[in-house]
Chains A and B, each alone.
Chain A
Amino acid sequence: MIKWTDEQRTLRAAAAELGAVVGKDHLERDATGTFSEQGWALVRESGLLGLPFGAEYGGLDADLLTTMYVLEGLGESCRDGGFPFSVTTHVVSTGVPLQRFGSDELKQRYLPGVCSGSAIGAHAISEPDAGSDMMAMRTTAVLDGDDYVLSGSKSFVSNGPIADTFMVYARTGKSGAPDAITTFLVERDSPGLHVGQPMGKMGLKTSPLSELFLDGVRVPTSRVVGKVGAGFLVLDHVMKWEILLSFVVNLGEMEHRLAECVRHARSRKQFGRPIGSYQSVSNKLVDMRIGVETSRKWLYDTAEKLVARKAVTTDIAITKLVVSEANVASALAAVQVFGGYGYMTEYGVEKDVRNAVAGTIYSGTTEIQRQRVAAMMGLG
């Protein structure tokens, strides 16, 4: 059990306040798939985007656990599930690898934009033919003088349509080898870089997503993030953060959803009794509670292990699997607890189901997480 300080609570309260404001017109934006520009302006002002980054770059120097606690607050209050996803994507895609692997020059040049939110970040990893398998990527980076020349295409780039800075993962070595991938920081206005049209999707509709096409994009060697060939290790670090930050938002959402369901179950009556007194309903609420508590334990326990420099590859995979599946189960249970209202778009409950499904897919599907745990156990 972590004891949060007053300062941490204050930060979380600020995030919660922000989330409530940003989430206001979430139904309209979900229907039209619109990113909240106004929300972004607010979140920039709040300083939230610089939470885990150094003060010298305009960040708040908060540690990982504080960052998570604050984002949990954002998730709890913000009914627009896509918005926090764009926020965490921004933070983890560019800020996190720059802070950990970037040269001083790169940090000085790009981290302030990450912290202030003046340059929105995205990362381009998966590809049409490679799916979740980053070692199969076909996008190549070939050294030509002082530049790398990047060619290929990337699918599912979250924040793609609104991003200013992309972390592009491309192959510099033999396909399949652990040292084959390198990370490049690419600016949106680079010649040869084309951002595709926003793509329609099932959930997280307010967080825009697109494809990215690289047609001989020249990137100076100085914009390699980490060492050449270290892309897999950079991504491993990024994925740890991505999973902890984006799924702690889901934890907040689940907490809110549970509270709403409990309130509804205690007030709504059927046959003269509150529906929560029927075991078929209370069982669902108990399962939702178990999901919340299990997710919280995995998220913060894994984060503490990470901070304590323990090996967390297995924990991260389990956390990702547990929280994403708990979120889907919780969202489905809420639809049932709310009955007909839950099924109607205007109550905003069904949208959570669509949003939650995304969590079982991005950052490696549930199947991939299982395989990863198996691999860590030395199985196949």
Chain B
Amino acid sequence: MSRIDEITRYIVAEFAPDIRADELDADYDLLDNGVVDSLGLLRLIGWLGERYDLPVDDIDLAPEQFRSVRAVDAFVESALVKGPAL
């Protein structure tokens, strides 16, 4: 399973359980449409940090990075490229 699929599945399972993963468009605005609220954002960031071993506490986080599945995937990509910072 590709990373973007995995992210999609997590978001669907946690925040929109009534839909199938293939119904969530990668560009769907998760924030403006209220799928992910403020606490949901913390859950999502927590999950990403653990799942991909990201140094989320060292990255300059902004909600923009979690606006859509595609944005989340790009966030993970860039965080991985930077490598685990200390």
Contacts and interface: CB of A to CB of B under 8 A. Distances in A.
Contacts of A17: none
Interface stretch (A65-73, A156-164, A307-315): A307-315
A236 interface: yes
A249 B6 CA distance: 42
Given A179-B31, A372-B39, A311 B49 contact: yes
24 contacts: A135-B38, A178-B40, A178-B41, A179-B31, A179-B63, A179-B67, A226-B61, A227-B64, A228-B62, A230-B62, A232-B38, A233-B45, A233-B62, A309-B53, A309-B55, A310-B50, A311-B43, A311-B45, A311-B49, A313-B39, A372-B39, A375-B39, A375-B43, A378-B43
B31 A309 contact: no
A181 to B, nearest CB: 9
Interface string A155-179: 0000000000000000000100111
A306 B55 CA distance: 11
Interface in B29-57: 31-32, 36-43, 45-47, 49-50, 53-57
Interface of A: 100-101, 135, 174, 177-179, 226-230, 232-233, 236-237, 306, 309-313, 372, 375-376, 378
Given A177-B31, A230-B63, A372-B39, A311 B50 contact: yes
Contacts of B31: 177-179
Contacts of A375: 39-40, 43
Contacts of B77: none
The 3 closest A-B pairs by CB, nearest first: A311-B46, A179-B63, A227-B62
A229 B55 CA distance: 20
